[in-house]
Homo-oligomer: A and B are copies of this chain.
Amino acid sequence: MPQQQRSEETRARLLQAALACFSQAGYDATGVAEICAHAGASKGAFYHHFPSKQAVFIELLNAWLDALDAQFNAVRAQAAPVPEMLRQMARAARGVFADASRPGFTGQAGQLPLFLEFWTQATRDPLIWEKTVAPYQRYEAYFAGLVRAGIAEGSLRAVDPAAAARMIIAVAVGLLLQGLANPSNGDWGEPAEKGIEMLLHGLEKP
């Protein structure tokens, strides 16, 4: 195997191992040594690819957000009316979130406990805070723009776009947490789609 390819495989294995360790034991309780042991890689290999445990953490967050962005961009490319795009985005996010909603203590390493970990870490670490708040603000601007477009095209009532954007994100995040709290409720998708319908009932022009 060429060295370049081997190096990329090691990097991917380290990321996968970090995700598993963070999700199961938590960010605080996980050391670089555990990640290396889980990945079957040396500390030298780790520090070749990442400056710190925190860098791995932030890279995992970005990878997760990239997957979400790709789904949203695919929906937006269709240029449908805004209420229809919001419905499709809820459906698209379903796939991204479904994989992520398995709790760690069952032995499966879901990404959602990690998502929660981001927020708890963010409240304690200014650098993670910045990396967590930056994408959040990006989504706020993104949905505010979408709502503004909906008002302009006449499909949405003349609500405050920033407040509506916050509501959309709050509903998404809140329902994610509910799925985490109570997996027996079923997956995120069905309540999310019902939720978006209820919210749209308040936003759409009759």
A interface list, Cβ under 8 A from B: 24-26, 28-29, 103-105, 110, 112-113, 116-117, 119-120, 122-126, 129, 132-133, 136-137, 159-160, 163-164, 166-167, 169-175, 177-178, 180-182, 185, 191, 194-195, 198-203
Contacts and interface: CB of A to CB of B under 8 A. Distances in A.
Nearest to A172: B174
Contacts of A105: 123-126, 129
Contacts of A203: 198, 201-202
Could you say how many copies of this chain the assembly holds? Answer: 2
A120 B174 contact: no
A202 B206 CA distance: 11
Given A119-B180, A173-B173, A201-B203, 17 more contacts: A28-B29, A112-B123, A116-B116, A116-B123, A119-B177, A120-B120, A123-B180, A136-B178, A164-B198, A169-B178, A171-B171, A174-B174, A174-B175, A198-B199, A199-B202, A201-B201, A201-B202
